[in-house]
A and B are shown apart, each in its own frame.
Chain A
Amino acid sequence: ETGVTQSPTHLIKTRGQQVTLRCSSQSGHNTVSWYQQALGQGPQFIFQYYREEENGRGNFPPRFSGLQFPNYSSELNVNALELDDSALYLCASSHGTSRYNEQFFGPGTRLTVL
């Protein structure tokens, strides 16, 4: 059983640029959630995808968008990058019918915006 993988591990961008982060879910999982973790903070929910549809969204602007593919892998896209977007971006996979919503995280992508 393979765990959650994310790419790239690190990324440096400048303000105004666009970025795409990728996530492969754990085998058997059909739900992917994305979180942003700023330094010294707990993860903050961005959005969740279930069966290729957005299933819920946190308090993030529309320039944060995503996709889920038929194999349940997912992308997070951020347009018009701002300095405050610098953070660790975490992807978590789960099974949509899991009673307790246990989520399993990937290693994250460290994004630095200069």
Chain B
Amino acid sequence: TQLLEQSPQFLSIQEGENLTVYCNYSSVFSSLQWYRQEPGEGPVLLVTVVTGGEVKKLKRLTFQFGDARKDSSLHITAAQPGDTGLYLCAGAGGSQGNLIFGKGTKLSVKP
């Protein structure tokens, strides 16, 4: 059972455009983590959000945690080809110390 739903599943945009990807979940997690994964590589941690309503910025990336801690978004401003990859959200707080992942949003930024 997939507790986290990510949307859209695929996104193809031109360099310089803005975009937002979403992560919604049916449980409340103690924290939410966003990762970026390139083909053939492991996921790389981008940010951890913990507090409802929290906003974190990482250069052109803005991460938001919903007030009720049941949704999160990632906004990229002026996307670049280097932003291409699979963006995964993962909830922490599983009973076994595991992260629960969504299926990811596959982003392609064309020059």
A residues touching B (Cβ–Cβ < 8 Å)?
A: 4, 6, 31, 33, 35, 40-45, 48, 50, 55-58, 88, 90, 92, 100-108, 110
Contact = CB atoms under 8 A, between A and B. Distances in A.
A66 to B, nearest CB: 13
B97 A55 contact: yes
Interface in B43-83: 43-45, 48, 50
5 contacts: A42-B88, A42-B104, A56-B94, A58-B96, A101-B99
Give chain B's interface secondary structure class. Answer: loop
Contacts of A105: 35, 42-45
Nearest to B92: A101
B96 A48 contact: yes
Instruction: Assign chain B's interface to a size class.
Output: 20 to 34
Interface centre among B30, B43, B44, B93, by most A CB within 10 Å?
A: B43
Given A45-B100, A48-B97, 5 more contacts: A33-B97, A45-B99, A88-B40, A107-B42, A108-B40
A31 B48 contact: no
Contacts of A42: 2, 4, 88, 90, 101-104
A33 B43 CA distance: 13
Contacts of B41: 107-108
A90 B101 CA distance: 13
Nearest to A91: B42
A110 B39 CA distance: 11
B26 interface: no
Contacts of B48: 100, 102
A101 B50 CA distance: 11
Contacts of B35: 105
